[in-house]
Amino acid sequence: MADPTPADRLWLADWRRRVAELYAEVRARSETDPAAAWDTWRAEREALYRTHPQSPVPPAERASFRAAHWSYDDRWRFEVGLVEEPAPATALGGPGQGLALPNSGDDALAFDRVGTVRLPMRDGPGSLDLFWMRGYTGGLFLPFHDATNGAETYGAGRYALDTAKGADLGGDPLAATLVVDLNFAFQPSCAFDPRWACPLAPPGNRLAVRVEAGERLR
């Protein structure tokens, strides 16, 4: 991508502000009515993707953009504990350099593995590694693959959480728990336009089942 202009940076700040406000509304409403919170998220996010200058959707496609989702299903909503595990060996060239996750572009972003979350899904438990992004603005990152990838959803997977960009569904730090609601799973920006470079789910973050929840491509 070309270097951002001052106007681009102001619009990016506005995008992050509006996404953070949306997720704050979602977290508050989810405490009593997760399905209604999801309706709000789906409608407001689609509007941002259609109209905002920082939308990942190519400008020529924004006016006609419509997001597709599976219907809300509360069986895909979990509050799970974080299982702390020893960090694996570094993949960026030396001690303390962090892990390199797959990326759709040339960047090699550094992450730390925070631990593992285990989702008690109806077809059997699934395990996902939870990461912390070292650069950018920091934040928790929970990407995943599932059996819908390449057909209904982006081939390289989706995101459940990306708190660096405001996609934060909450949790309880005292209890070391996180809310992982796969009804809010979304495609990375590079699914809409290859000019975006996105960190992607590593092979270990693969769920064997079809996650028929969240955003789909069609």
- pLDDT tens-digit map of 169-216: 999 999 999 999 999 999 999 999 998 989 999 988 999 999 999 999
Helices within 31-165 (DSSP H only):
34-51, 59-62
Q: How confident is the model over 52-67, as a mean pLDDT?
A: 96
Which residue in 80, 81, 82, 79 sits closest to 30, CA to CA?
79
Per-residue confidence (pLDDT) for residue 126, from 0 to 100: 94
Q: Is the dihedral of CA 10, 11, 17, 20 positive or negative?
A: negative
Query: Locate tokens 């270097």: which residue?
Result: 3
Q: Which two tokens stand for residue 80?
A: 């799970």
**Whole-angstrom Cα distance, residue 165 to residue 19?**
7
Per-residue confidence (pLDDT) for residue 128, from 0 to 100: 97
Per-residue confidence (pLDDT) for residue 95, from 0 to 100: 54
Per-residue confidence (pLDDT) for residue 86, from 0 to 100: 64
The pLDDT tens digits for 122-166 are 888 899 999 999 877 789 999 999 999 999 999 999 999 999 989
Most confidently modeled of 3-7, 98-102, 118-122? 118-122
**The model's pTM:** 0.92
Least confident of 10-24, 34-48, 102-116: 102-116
Q: How confident is the model over 38-63, as a mean pLDDT?
A: 97
The pLDDT tens digits for 73-89 are 999 999 999 998 766 64
**Whole-angstrom Cα distance, residue 116 to residue 137?**
22
Per-residue confidence (pLDDT) for residue 96, from 0 to 100: 61
Per-residue confidence (pLDDT) for residue 124, from 0 to 100: 86
Per-residue confidence (pLDDT) for residue 97, from 0 to 100: 65
Per-residue confidence (pLDDT) for residue 154, from 0 to 100: 96
Per-residue confidence (pLDDT) for residue 100, from 0 to 100: 85
Helices within 31-164 (DSSP H only):
34-51, 59-62
Q: How confident is the model over 7-35, as a mean pLDDT?
A: 96
**Whole-angstrom Cα distance, residue 7 to residue 21?**
21
Q: How confident is the model over 45-55, as a mean pLDDT?
A: 97
